[in-house]
Amino acid sequence: MRKINWKKIKGFIFDLDGVVYRGSKPIKSAVKKINELLKNNYKVAFLTNNSTKSQKEFAKKIIKCGIDINSKFIITTSVATANFVSKKYKKGTNIYVVGSKALKNEIKIKKFKISKKNVKAVVAGLDTNINYKKITEASNILRSGKLLVATNLDKILPNEKGFQPGAGSIIQSIIDATGPKIKKIFVGKPNTYLIKEALKVMKLKKENVVLVGDQLETDILAAKNFKMKSILVETGVPNTSKKIKATLKLKNLRNLLIK
């Protein structure tokens, strides 16, 4: 625990899938530890590459796990992706979306039109109803030179039974169908955009916050890219990368000792 100067730490940012819960099942050690941190006046925020729920829906799920949290402290890729699109394109622009109802709603909130015609960009995230037709539509649009704004790279998601395909698996199929000249950007981790949004809400500097995640190539790499401290927990996906290292590695959050 010596790698982190705990006297400087005032807050924690937690990933959700594989850290706080697996599917609908809470990870008890995490819930207990997060409540301890809140009780000891640490600021806590959550961020997720999962774009299938709104901030309020994620808040309900976290509260159901046993953690009381305001939805404003939850940063999602659906919100972040819509914010990114709003900075790049004018209101009223046609956008083709492959993704969840939550992602589509955020795009609509930003005053964009979801369409297949005269499209300026393709937004893609986790879509549990993905099919051949959607991949075809998206790749045809992208082949004409339009930008792919993707939520995240995660190829799998942990759930209570094991794992399920993540947004990265769906997005990769669109990329492969489009070809090597595709223009693309990923908004979620390992991009630092979500972390920056979380710090704004927490009103803290990166030097005073630790990021906790279960994936080296997304969570921990995002922290590394932003030059902030990180903790890898082994309650989520298996990790194979030997190049990316967290500040600390724990079996679960029960083993987190702040001295």
The whole-angstrom separation of Cα 44 and Cα 12 is 5
| Residues 174-214 pLDDT 10s | 999 999 999 999 999 999 999 999 999 999 999 999 999 99
Mean per-residue pLDDT for 151-174? Answer: 90
**Range list of β-strands (E), 151-242:** 156-159, 162-165, 183-186, 209-213, 229-233
Sorting pLDDT into bands at 50, 70 and 90, what band is 239?
confident
Helix intervals (H) in 99-183: 101-109, 132-143, 167-178
Pairing of strands 121-124, 113-114: unpaired
Task: Work out the percent of the chain whose per-residue pLDDT is above 90.
Answer: 89
In whole numbers, what is the pLDDT of the chain averaged over residues? 94
N- to C-terminal Cα separation, the chain: 8
> What per-residue confidence (pLDDT) applies to 2?
55
Distance from the Cα of residue 218 to its chain's centroid: 8
**Domain coordinates of the chain in residue numbers?**
11-76+190-255, 78-186
Out of 80-89, 142-151, 237-246, least confident range: 237-246
In the 8-state DSSP scheme, what is residue 173?
H
pTM: 0.88
> What per-residue confidence (pLDDT) applies to 199?
97
Sorting pLDDT into bands at 50, 70 and 90, what band is 1?
very low
- When the candidates are 3.40.50.150, 3.40.50.2300, 3.40.50.1000, 3.40.309.10, the CATH number that belongs to 11-76+190-255 is 3.40.50.1000
CA 14, 20, 24: angle at the middle one, nearest 5? 140
CA 162, 12, 202: angle at the middle one, nearest 5? 125
> What per-residue confidence (pLDDT) applies to 259?
78
The whole-angstrom separation of Cα 211 and Cα 243 is 18
Sorting pLDDT into bands at 50, 70 and 90, what band is 3?
confident
| Residues 84-140 pLDDT 10s | 999 999 999 999 999 999 999 999 999 999 999 999 999 999 999 999 999 999 999
The whole-angstrom separation of Cα 93 and Cα 84 is 14
* Topology alike, domains 11-76+190-255 and 78-186: yes
The whole-angstrom separation of Cα 195 and Cα 130 is 29
The whole-angstrom separation of Cα 106 and Cα 54 is 8
Other CB atoms within a 10 A radius of the CB of residue 180 amount to 6
Q: What kind and span of H or E run contains 123? A: strand 121-124
In the 8-state DSSP scheme, what is residue 208?
G
CATH number of the domain located at residue range(s) 78-186 in this protein? 3.40.50.1000
In the 8-state DSSP scheme, what is residue 219?
I
